[in-house]
Amino acid sequence: MADYTYYEGGPDIIAQEGQFSIVTDLIRGQQYEIQVIDFYIDEMMNGYVYFDGAEMLRQSNIESYDILERLFYSQFSVQM
């Protein structure tokens, strides 16, 4: 598995060693093979979702990981 800096907290999704999750952008129709989906909320209440260390989603005024996760799944689907 690649070497990424992971943020603590959040409902992170990590594929099994040597495997990938298929993530589909429901708006653009693009698909990604991802090993790690990392959820993070900073001290300014900005919510981030990273795919293998690359920022893919950012939203301000995120109060909880539940809200960030719902936002993520409204824009992306994940197949393990």
Which tens digits make up the pLDDT trace of 11-70? 687 777 788 999 999 999 999 999 999 999 999 999 999 999 999 999 999 999 999 999
DSSP-derived secondary structure letter, 61:
S
pLDDT at 52: 92
**Collapsing DSSP states into helix, strand and coil, what is residue 70?**
helix
Q: Which amino acid is at 58?
A: R
- In angstroms, rounded to a whole number, what is the distance separating the alpha carbons of residues 40 and 48? 5
76 DSSP β-pair partners: 25
Residue 3 predicted with pLDDT over 60: yes
